[in-house]
Amino acid sequence: MMKTTIFDMMKRKINLLITFSVIVLVVLSAIQFYLVKTAYDYKVAQFHTEIRNKIAKVTNDYSDIDSTIFNKKDLLYKQLATNYISNKKHQHKIKGELLQNNFKAELTRKLQQEFENELPNLKLDFAIVLNKFVIFRNSQKTDTVYSERPSINNKLYGNLASLDNAFLVRSYVGTTSGTTVNSDYKLLTEDTLYVSVIDWEIIILKRMILILLIAIFSILTLITLFIIAIKALIKQKKVNDIKTDFINNITHELKTPLSTLSISTKILERKEIRDNEEHFDNLVSTISRQNNRLQQLIDQVMTSALGVSELELKKEKIEVNAFLNTIISDFKLAHNNTTVICNFKTNEAVLPLDKFHLTTAILNVLENAVKYGCNTITVETALADNLFNITIQDNGIGIPVNKHSLLFDKFYRVEQGNLHNTKGLGLGLYYVDQIIKAHQGKISVAGDLGKGTVFNLSIPFN
């Protein structure tokens, strides 16, 4: 109960830490986005100011670009004002004549050419929009012939198709005096220049490239650190789980021989048992086996603490086929219900091997097959590419392909669901891998769940 509670608390702490980390990452990303957006808005405003200043240098009053055309415009305005005063019924007609004047195309061309000459590095579209056309008379109230919100439909000159992506450069206010038959009047006009820079977004992005790179690098760094931290937490949790599982397993494994030794020792204390030679020999044999079992467990744990380079092999020249036959014979005595088929394709091959360690390694593979439901094992040998190959194939329950890469990890044991169906320390195959590597060899595994398992041990000729 205590173990479960501690495990649950640890799991909750990890989940809370991950959640908190995600929140912090989102907040920092939001702040970074805000800073970039603020910098972007500043760059846009700065760019607009820059364009306004450059256009202002071109002309403060665009009428000086072509005085002849603008004189035509002034004459038109006066004529329209006079017509309006004479007959107000012409108001809608006057609006149309204001917007559809006969010098519209020519003035557009003149202004466009001026911008191209003075601002060759920028591609501009522009529009001059009429906002107001107001007549003041001394004896009567003011007549507002035309007064509307800026709209591209009120375009006097220019090629701009929409005001959506355009910005206001400046407004031009003009006043003209005139005289009609009945009274004097003053004409007030207002039109506004709007400019749109083609591909202005690219220009802004180029100016922000350093800021964007720093922002992207910062975000990627945060995400990378977050992923590394989460992986470290998951790895640490996995290590803790493995340690807990290892302690539970080794406790179980040690209790079995210790319990047997304890019981056997107590039985030996009985006089009638000591007097019975057969029972005495059996108990002594049992104690010897359990003592060997304890020694093997201790050896496995000690070996697991050593790396490949730290293993001290005591190699001797061994005829491999005879060596394997001896191992298999001993294995059959302990597992008389398991069929072992030998198919040796090598003739009296002699290799320098550590007899003790390699015996233990091969027995580990054979016993591992029996643990996982095997009743038939095939052992084959072959020579290929200066390698002595030992193939051990069983017809057990098999191992899922996605678990193959984990089989030789320290303390790893294949699970069925969340339960281990067989007891062990998770050191057997790790030990085998270490011993084969110490012989400069390789071990590989094939097969799948429900299809049995094939282990291939390759040892080079030295």
d(CA 378, CA 375): 10
> pLDDT category, 2, cuts 50, 70, 90?
very low
So where are the chain's domains?
2-51+207-226, 61-199, 239-304, 312-460
Tokens of 206: 């180029």
* CATH class name, domain 312-460: alpha beta
pLDDT at 368 over 60: yes
Per DSSP, 416 falls in state B
Tokens of 352: 């320098």
For residue 221, list its beta bridge partners. none
- pLDDT tens-place string over residues 99-147: 676 667 777 787 777 777 777 777 888 888 877 778 777 666 676 666 6
Contacts of 326 (CB under 8 A, 6+ apart): none
Which helix (H) or strand (E) segment holds residue 249: the answer is helix 209-268
The predicted pLDDT at position 427 comes to 65
Q: What is the mean pLDDT of the chain?
A: 76
For residue 341, list its beta bridge partners. 378
Contact 290, 257 (CB under 8 A): yes
Contacts of 227 (CB under 8 A, 6+ apart): none
The identity of residue 58, as a single letter, is V
> pLDDT category, 179, cuts 50, 70, 90?
confident
pTM over 0.75: no
Per-residue pLDDT, averaged over 304-313, amounts to 58
d(CA 438, CA 308): 5
Per DSSP, 389 falls in state E
- pLDDT tens-place string over residues 16-33: 777 887 888 888 888 888
How far apart, in Å, are the Cα atoms of 458 and each of 213, 318, 348, 417?
A: 51, 16, 17, 32
d(CA 421, CA 325): 30
Q: According to the per-residue pLDDT averaged within each range, which of 301-305, 330-334, 393-397 is highest?
A: 393-397
Contact 447, 392 (CB under 8 A): no
| Interstrand relation of 442-447 and 155-158 (parallel, antiparallel or unpaired) | unpaired
Tokens of 170: 């400046």
- pLDDT tens-place string over residues 69-89: 666 667 777 777 777 777 665
d(CA 286, CA 261): 8
CATH number for the segment(s) 239-304: 1.10.287.130
Which helix (H) or strand (E) segment holds residue 388: the answer is strand 387-394
d(CA 274, CA 279): 8
